[in-house]
Structure 1
Amino acid sequence: MGRAREAAGLTVAQAARRLGVKTATWQGWENDRSEPRSNKLTMIAGALGVSPAWLLTGFGEGPTEAIDDEVQVLRQEVGLIAQDMASAQARLDAVLKRLETFHSFHHVEPN
């Protein structure tokens, strides 16, 4: 349950609030000190984007697929940002070189 909560990007407190339970109750579920009632199980599954069967058994639709998809999206975004940064650095270098040239032509040494 903790893995699914983390994959959903929720803290324990946020997940508990979303379901209308105390944080300690949610922590008890994650630490196997207690189990949610069946009506809460369906709500938990919906809130975390997993199947109730996965919560109970670990089989079925779990958070792994969502994590893999998100990791792929984030890797693509990192690649795009790196390209943007390289392009911006090249532009900055070109502008600085032009400025340097301009400055050397117009710089008057004091007598």
Structure 2
Amino acid sequence: MAFGSISQPGTDGSDPSTDYTLGERICKARDAVGLSTAQLARRLGIKTSTLQGWESDRSEPRSNKLVLLAGILNVSPTWLLVGRGAAPIHEDEDGANLETVRIALDRIHNQAQALVEEIERLRQRIDGDVS
């Protein structure tokens, strides 16, 4: 079970985010939060040309900047690197992505519920061993 994955799978069951490069994922996430390249670079404390290098796959961010970048873009560092995990949600003016959000929330809720049940089973097992 893949925890936290909310991107839409392709028709063949694959995750289309994994087909993008790091630079393409940075661009998509930046667009999703509505920031320009200059605005994002300013928030990261880097030159616009540095960010442009990342977005065009000429260079890659160091780990500390990658984590900061993920936080600003509201995605996981893993999604930025390899396309796995929570992807950005593009909000259309007409709210067309609400169904995608609902599906993602249902999936996450079910995963959380399964984790709670597993925790309870483990607690009962520990309590049974201690008694």
Is the structural similarity TM-score above 0.5? yes
1:59 shift after superposition: 1.2
The answer as to 2:100 corresponding to 1:75 is no
Q: Moved runs in structure 1, 4+ residues, more than 4 A?
A: none
The answer as to 2:56 corresponding to 1:31 is yes
1:18 shift after superposition: 0.5
1:39 shift after superposition: 0.5
The answer as to 2:38 corresponding to 1:13 is yes
Residue type matched to 1:25 in 2? T
State the TM-score, normalizing by the size of structure 2.
Answer: 0.52
Please tell me whether Structure 1 or Structure 2 has the larger radius of gyration of its CA atoms.
1
- 2:70 maps to which of 40, 45, 60: 45
Alpha-carbon RMSD: 0.9
Greater relative contact order structure (CA < 8 Å, 6+ sep): 2
State the TM-score, normalizing by the size of structure 1.
Answer: 0.61
CA distance, structure 1, for counterparts of residue 39 and residue 58 of structure 2: 20
- Greater helix content: 1
Aligned to 1:106: none
**CA deviation digits over 1:42-77, x for unaligned, max 9?**
0000000100000000111111xx21xx22xx216x
**CA deviation digits over 1:11-53, x for unaligned, max 9?**
0000000000000000000111001000000000000010000
CA distance, structure 2, for counterparts of residue 43 and residue 14 of structure 1: 14
